[in-house]
Amino acid sequence: MSRLPKIVGGRWFNSQPLSEENLKGKVVLIDFWTYSCVNCKRTIPYLKEWWRKYKEKNFEMIGIHTPEFEFEKEFNNVKQACRDLGVTWPVVLDNDYVNWNNFANRYWPAKYIADKDGKIVYEHFGEGGYEKTENIIRKLIGEEMEDVSVKEHGHGNVCFSPTPELYCGYKRGFLSNLPAQADREAYVYDLSFDYKKPEMKEDTIGLAGKFIARSEYVESVDADSELLLRFRATEVNLVIYPVESSAVAEIYLDNDKLPKEYWGEDVNESNIAISRPTMYNLVKTSGLLEGILKIKPIKGNFRAYAFTFSGCEY
């Protein structure tokens, strides 16, 4: 791909639809993202700064919101996420993956920069590379100042390999539970089932009590439902959705309520209040933590989609 494809989509935030004519003669940064992705959220402070500094200098930035989960297709969910995250630049919904496929993109987040002639001159996938990215923007828009020095996001100087991303639904997930029936995997598809508490294998999730397993998520059924996670990390996040308008879940570490020193940003009194479908930060520590998390509904029920982790010490 050598030229910027036409950006398509009927629903935009923060802008009228931007045509090829609107982008003519501008440096254009394209950012593929989805709002419950922890890696995408970590890039947003840098995007904010670039938009603030360069939006009046023949520079355009477009966020292409391509959803990973079904709830991320909902207009109001994305609208609220843009407000919560402070996203003020143009964003187009890409629910059918049209732009994603036109760019042959495969990653969240992913950045593409096109020069004033519409030629794509730079690509970056994942986090990082912020200093190089900004210096390319500056060069293309003709800034005469010296190269910038950007403080990269980081947790500290010591990093290790944490538990990998774990999906909860049966399409991409794996349970520590033994098969529920002979010749079948542990999941019971699309039915309420009373799971027996498993022996937890490393870097896996497990279910105890009644759950409904769907392709993207597992849904708790009552107050005895327990979502289990055996992990190794400094930070644990969970994409989670209230079944009704809201829910509250309690978090345990190795059968005790999660200690205050391990509370993530979205935890209070070892509980998380689940008010909307998004990613919640459950655990945040200064160093390596290993153990088994237990998440139990105490008010309403929840749908759990995916766990993500960090392995860097603060």
CATH number of 166-310: 2.60.120.260
Residue from 56, 1, 64 nearest 29 by CA = 64
| Domain extent listing, the chain | 12-141, 166-310
Q: What is the pLDDT of residue 201?
A: 93
Reading the chain (314 residues) residue by residue, the pLDDT tens digits are: 589 999 999 899 999 999 999 999 999 999 999 999 999 999 999 999 999 999 999 999 999 999 999 999 999 999 999 999 999 999 999 999 999 999 999 999 999 999 999 999 999 999 999 999 999 999 999 976 555 555 555 544 567 889 999 999 999 999 999 876 645 679 999 999 999 999 999 999 999 999 999 999 999 999 999 999 999 999 999 999 999 999 999 999 999 999 999 999 999 999 999 999 999 999 999 899 999 999 999 999 999 999 999 988 76
Give the count of beta carbons closer than 10 Å to the beta carbon of residue 58. 14
pLDDT of residue 155: 46
DSSP reduced 3-state for 160: coil
Cβ of 219: how many Cβ atoms within 10 Å? Answer: 20
Answer yes or no: are the C-beta atoms of 42 and 130 closer than 8 Å: no
Taking the domain 12-141, which CATH number applies?
3.40.30.10
End-to-end alpha-carbon separation of the chain, Å?
A: 39
